[in-house]
Structure 1
């Protein structure tokens, strides 16, 4: 049976960096400025709530504060567009999705995680290496993708160089995958959350 493919759509033109004329803070990523609203950032993220609770330097009456960000412009744009009710850019690779997961967790922006889960589940369905797909799905708690990858798994890959993502799952989880394949049973889920397996 052919594997399902990730959904695709015609290429859209690049989105311009998110910015609002009435914004009251600038988040700067490299050479790109995002003029956005403090109140919405604080509402969407404990990280920003804490940041803007601290005394801010006075930039002058005619200027608004500029905050340098560690994130690259494209990733920060995706996060901000997930906070605002506006169109987001598409996630086109597993690597991009994993990068955005890390940023969303760092900035503690929960509203970003659900669209990431949906996109990553679709991308993993088209991943040609089932073990890699399973490891990524397990790491991020994607139950549907984890089960689908486990059904495609074949231990014949043992002895080949393992996917690097396998480092993010526990030995117990991997052993369970092998035992499930051996016994021909549905895989019970052990979802990794920040490195700690939990039974479901």
Structure 2
């Protein structure tokens, strides 16, 4: 015999859901308005006699639907749908909630989960990347890939982490990482020419060489650190030929763009305000035209 839910068992309910022997008596209107799945179910078919249950107290008959989901998951789904109950999405349940939102086509729940991932992807970037890939959340996929690439060695030191991602995403990450390492090798060969004033050129060359040595010595620095470090190289301490000196940062920036490409951006939905040295990160797209 099914056990009544302590949270979602409404006396005036006109529909019953059963999951793992836990009984929920709910309202069709709530389900129909919230879920395209239930809307289609109630619109397309009438319950058979075997699916109708008589409520002894009132003599009314209601449809009973058996669900193949964990009772606690259905309870959380209903708690999201009903205005009289509330719970906060967490890392503990976001994966299940995304699955339920996808299965029962609850767009509002999908949006709530996406909003949670946008707020929290920095805490669990690898997990966020996997969920974003599974449920085609392009924005979260892009942002979480920045942090996974930035901490590549950390995330892929354990081969078990690879199992959390598709072969396609694994390949994209490895290719992007290889492109970054190749970029370091190229930046190592850059020389500062004599188009600038001699004193500025000598100072820039010294600062640039120090920076390159820092980021190109194995184990390599993270892409965000390298990007930030390279953009800090300048000659602002020298005051002769000011107009010429303004071109120094542009010169370095052009070299960086030419070597590393344009697919570097700051983090979206950042939690703090950065100054002009805000780091930028490489990233991969959920769908793109690159041949990997």
TM-score by length of 2: 0.51
**Cα distance in 2 between the residues matched to 1:73 and 1:178:** 43
Give unmatched runs, 5+ long, in structure 1: 1-14, 192-196
Change in Cα spacing, 1:28 to 1:177, as seen in structure 2 (3 Å) is farther
**Cα distance in 2 between the residues matched to 1:142 and 1:136:** 10
Higher relative contact order (CA 8 A, sep 6+): 1
Per-residue deviation, residues 8-43 of structure 1 (Å, max 9, x unmatched): xxxxxxx94323221100011112221111123122
1:5 is aligned to none
Structure 1 stretch displaced more, 74-83 or 140-149: 140-149
Matched, 1:30 2:20: yes
Structure 1 stretch displaced more, 97-106 or 161-170: 161-170
**Cα distance in 1 between the residues matched to 2:111 and 2:23:** 26
Per-residue deviation, residues 87-113 of structure 1 (Å, max 9, x unmatched): 32233325x211221111011111111
User: What SS does the corresponding residue of 1:40 show, helix, strand or coil?
Assistant: helix
**Cα distance in 1 between the residues matched to 2:89 and 2:168:** 24
Give the deviation of 1:171 after TM superposition.
Answer: 4.9
Matched, 1:104 2:95: no
Structure 1 stretch displaced more, 180-189 or 41-50: 180-189
1:65 is aligned to 63
User: What SS does the corresponding residue of 2:159 show, helix, strand or coil?
Assistant: coil
Q: Give every structure 1 segment of 4 or more consecutive aligned residues whose post-TM-superposition deviation is greater than 4 Å.
A: 179-184
Give the deviation of 1:145 after TM superposition.
Answer: 7.2
Give the deviation of 1:70 after TM superposition.
Answer: 0.9
Change in Cα spacing, 1:156 to 1:172, as seen in structure 2 (3 Å) is closer
Give the deviation of 1:48 after TM superposition.
Answer: 0.8
Structure 1 stretch displaced more, 180-189 or 45-54: 180-189
Change in Cα spacing, 1:143 to 1:115, as seen in structure 2 (3 Å) is same
Matched, 1:39 2:134: no
Write 1 or 2 for the structure with the bigger share of helix: 2
Per-residue deviation, residues 32-65 of structure 1 (Å, max 9, x unmatched): 2211111231222221122112121233553322
**Cα distance in 2 between the residues matched to 1:174 and 1:36:** 46
**Cα distance in 2 between the residues matched to 1:85 and 1:19:** 14
Whichever of the two has the greater Rg, that structure is 2
Change in Cα spacing, 1:131 to 1:181, as seen in structure 2 (3 Å) is farther
Change in Cα spacing, 1:151 to 1:87, as seen in structure 2 (3 Å) is same
Q: In 2, are the aligned partners of 1:135 and 1:169 still within 8 Å (CA)?
A: no
Aligned residues: 177
User: What SS does the corresponding residue of 2:88 show, helix, strand or coil?
Assistant: coil
Change in Cα spacing, 1:49 to 1:132, as seen in structure 2 (3 Å) is closer
Matched, 1:91 2:81: no
**Cα distance in 1 between the residues matched to 2:24 and 2:82:** 12
**Cα distance in 2 between the residues matched to 1:86 and 1:177:** 48
1:54 is aligned to 45
2:80 is aligned to 82
